[in-house]
């Protein structure tokens, strides 16, 4: 291929790429590279094609070679940043975007993408700063306005977030994404009817907008409108984001009809708490047919051994999934819709999960030992009777950091300090992960026996819960486990909680033994824990 024709081929390849004709663009790029193996633009375009196909590591390798050939091309660094962000290398992505804007200071797209990388790290203030730079360079950049609104929402700056959405709508009145963001902000403010209407407006403008359907579904479920809610929530199965629904099979989808003589795979979905909540439906599934295969997240496998309704239990690994044979499949969180669940027909029989008897006996002895040690170390002047018969309370203060709403649902351990000072109460930390380190940070301020290092899986956690008088937890899997075991538990919830906890009620229709303590004002945990402390004093005193 001659030099002149290489230039023409590059232009045609770019046109094919912009028209989403990826095969034609790739073919031309490979022809160029046969003549000129290190041609930077062809390598970059192949990398961009690999990125579109979600082949991120391939994209990074190809774009890296393009940068070796021409390190002064800002677009190459911008595309590299996108691929690095896609595999979670956020800081490396930021460095790539910084190189892009150093080469092209007016590169609005790179500033916006850098904002996205900061957002992925939950560095919301820095994200807003980069989005601002993007719109200052390109005042018509509606995506940057919307992204800025989302970041402002996570900072709790709700009015500012709505203002940015309105700026985007002034530029593009039919911009459905802005209505979706406005709705999410209104939901956080407790304006539920207005939020639902804005989700519907987003869908009027963009009927196949999966994210808005999902959000509308959760808003409807939050408000107890189950029939509409389950139908809208089903759109998560059509979402393009693999983090929302990562399971795809060629076999038929189970719709609830009898399957006698057949094999059905019911696969896990979303987080640990979601799976604990919805495994209650498996006996109902089993009543309709043949063999029920349950694919479950590894930490829950031990807890579900021998669970009624499960014929075969497999862990959620690539090898297990491809070794098992089945005729139909269904996601676990689809079962409420399939069984037509309403507020009145939620399966509420508890307990449906149980502690292993050996683990329960083991932890009974361990807690007695810890109680005696706490008695010896106690310098608060308790009576002998109080010290010998502590009221045992398990606590959890933080959820999974990767959860999009973790900054909303988790709280610092220092909120539990007043509970540790209630006479007769002995706190046991059931917190796992980085947040468990807060116990050491508060040494001397809070009296709590931290069990984190001794809890290997949920069979251990269940064994501990079996021997506690009460569990007090933010919205985590431990809270679900206590509810599923029929144990007394108190949930401390944000102003706008997850859909399953609904609104304006102190009890849970899903867990009869769980009591709900809600924020009365967004972000205010002090009031919640004042009420919890008051109730706990009464309970422990009895």
Sheet-wide strand order for 448-450: 448-450, 425-429, 391-396, 470-473, 489-493, 514-518
CATH ID of 259-338, from 2.60.40, 3.40.50, 1.10.760, 1.20.950: 3.40.50
pLDDT per residue as tens digits for the range 255-270: 999 999 999 999 999 9
Which portions of the chain are predicted below pLDDT 50?
3, 376, 379-387
What whole-number distance in Å separates Cα of residue 331 and Cα of residue 265?
Answer: 8
What whole-number distance in Å separates Cα of residue 346 and Cα of residue 466?
Answer: 24
- Report pLDDT for 378: 52
By DSSP bridging, strand 328-331 and strand 259-267 are parallel
What DSSP line would sit under 65-100, residue for residue?
A: HHHHH-TT-HHHHHHHHHHHHHTT-HHHHHHHHHHH
- Give me the chain's average pLDDT, please: 92
What whole-number distance in Å separates Cα of residue 443 and Cα of residue 308?
Answer: 44
Read off the pTM.
0.89
Topology of the domain covering 357-541: Rossmann fold (3.40.50)
- Report pLDDT for 74: 97
pLDDT per residue as tens digits for the range 360-408: 999 999 998 887 655 545 544 444 344 457 899 999 999 988 788 888 8
- Report pLDDT for 383: 42
- Report pLDDT for 464: 97
CB 465 within 8 A of CB 475: no
Q: In sequence order, what are the residues at sequence separation of 6 or more whose Cβ sits closer than 8 angstroms to the Cβ of residue 373?
A: none
- Is there a cis peptide before residue 351, judged by omega within 30 degrees of 0? yes
Name the CA radius of gyration of the chain, rounded. Answer: 27
- Report pLDDT for 154: 93
- Report pLDDT for 499: 95
In three-state form (DSSP H/G/I as H, E/B as E, the rest C), the secondary structure along 170-214 is: HHCCCCHHHHHHHHHHHHHCCCHHHHHHHHHHHHHHCCCCHHHHH
Residue 57 dihedral angles phi and psi, to the nearest 5°: -65, -40
Closest CA to 104 of 78, 128, 140, 143: 78
Q: In sequence order, what are the residues at sequence separation of 6 or more whose Cβ sits closer than 8 angstroms to the Cβ of residue 159?
A: none
What whole-number distance in Å separates Cα of residue 26 and Cα of residue 364?
Answer: 64
Where does the chain hold its CATH 3.40.50.2000 domain(s)? 357-541
């Amino acid at each position: 291929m001659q030099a002149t024709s290489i230039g023409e081929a590059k232009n045609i390849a770019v046109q094919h790429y912009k028209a989403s004709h990826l095969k034609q663009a790739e073919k031309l790029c490979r022809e160029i590279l046969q003549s000129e193996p290190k041609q930077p633009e062809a390598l970059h375009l192949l990398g961009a094609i690999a990125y579109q196909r979600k082949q991120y590591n391939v994209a990074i390798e190809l774009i890296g070679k393009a940068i070796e050939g021409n390190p002064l091309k800002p677009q190459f660094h911008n595309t590299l940043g996108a691929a690095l962000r896609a595999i979670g290398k956020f800081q490396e992505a930021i460095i790539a975007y910084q190189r892009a804007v150093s080469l092209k200071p007016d590169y609005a797209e790179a500033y916006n993408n850098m904002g996205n990388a900061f957002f992925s790290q939950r560095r919301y203030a820095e994200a807003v700063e980069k989005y601002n730079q993007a719109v200052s360079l390109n005042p018509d950049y509606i995506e940057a306005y919307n992204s800025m609104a989302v970041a402002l929402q996570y900072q709790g700056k709700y009015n500012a977030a709505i203002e940015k959405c309105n700026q985007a709508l002034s530029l593009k009145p039919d911009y459905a994404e802005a209505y979706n963001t406005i709705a999410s902000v209104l939901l956080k403010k407790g304006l539920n009817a207005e939020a639902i209407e804005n989700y519907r407006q987003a869908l009027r403008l963009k009927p196949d907008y999966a994210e808005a359907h999902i959000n509308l579904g959760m808003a409807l479920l939050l408000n107890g409108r189950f029939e509409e809610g389950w139908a809208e929530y089903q759109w998560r199965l059509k979402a393009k984001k693999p983090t929302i629904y990562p399971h795809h099979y060629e076999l038929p989808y189970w719709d609830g009809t009898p399957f006698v003589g057949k094999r059905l795979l019911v696969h896990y979905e979303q987080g640990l708490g979601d799976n604990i909540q919805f495994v209650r439906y498996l006996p109902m599934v089993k009543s309709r047919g043949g063999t029920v295969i349950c694919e479950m997240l590894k930490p829950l496998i031990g807890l579900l051994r021998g669970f009624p309704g499960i014929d075969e239990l497999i862990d959620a690994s690539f090898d297990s999934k491809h070794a098992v044979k089945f005729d139909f499949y269904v996601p676990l969180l689809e079962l409420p819709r399939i069984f037509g669940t309403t507020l009145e027909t939620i399966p509420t029989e508890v307990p449906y999960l149980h502690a292993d008897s050996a683990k329960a006996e083991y932890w009974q002895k361990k807690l007695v030992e810890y109680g005696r040690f706490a008695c010896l170390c106690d310098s608060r002047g308790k009576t002998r009777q109080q010290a010998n018969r502590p009221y045992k309370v398990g606590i959890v203060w933080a959820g999974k950091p990767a959860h999009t709403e973790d900054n909303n649902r988790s709280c610092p351990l220092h909120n539990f300090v007043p509970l540790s000072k209630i006479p007769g109460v002995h706190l046991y930390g059931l917190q796992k992960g980085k947040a468990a380190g807060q116990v050491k940070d508060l040494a001397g301020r809070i009296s709590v026996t931290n069990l984190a290092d001794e809890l290997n899986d949920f069979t251990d956690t269940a064994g501990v819960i079996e021997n506690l008088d009460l569990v007090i937890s933010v919205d985590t899997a431990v809270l679900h486990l206590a509810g599923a075991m029929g144990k007394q538990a108190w949930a401390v919830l944000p102003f706008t909680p997850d859909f399953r906890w609904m609104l304006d009620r102190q009890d849970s229709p899903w867990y009869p033994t769980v009591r709900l303590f809600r924020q009365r004002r967004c972000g205010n945990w002090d009031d919640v824990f004042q009420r919890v402390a008051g109730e706990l004093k009464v309970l422990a005193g009895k």
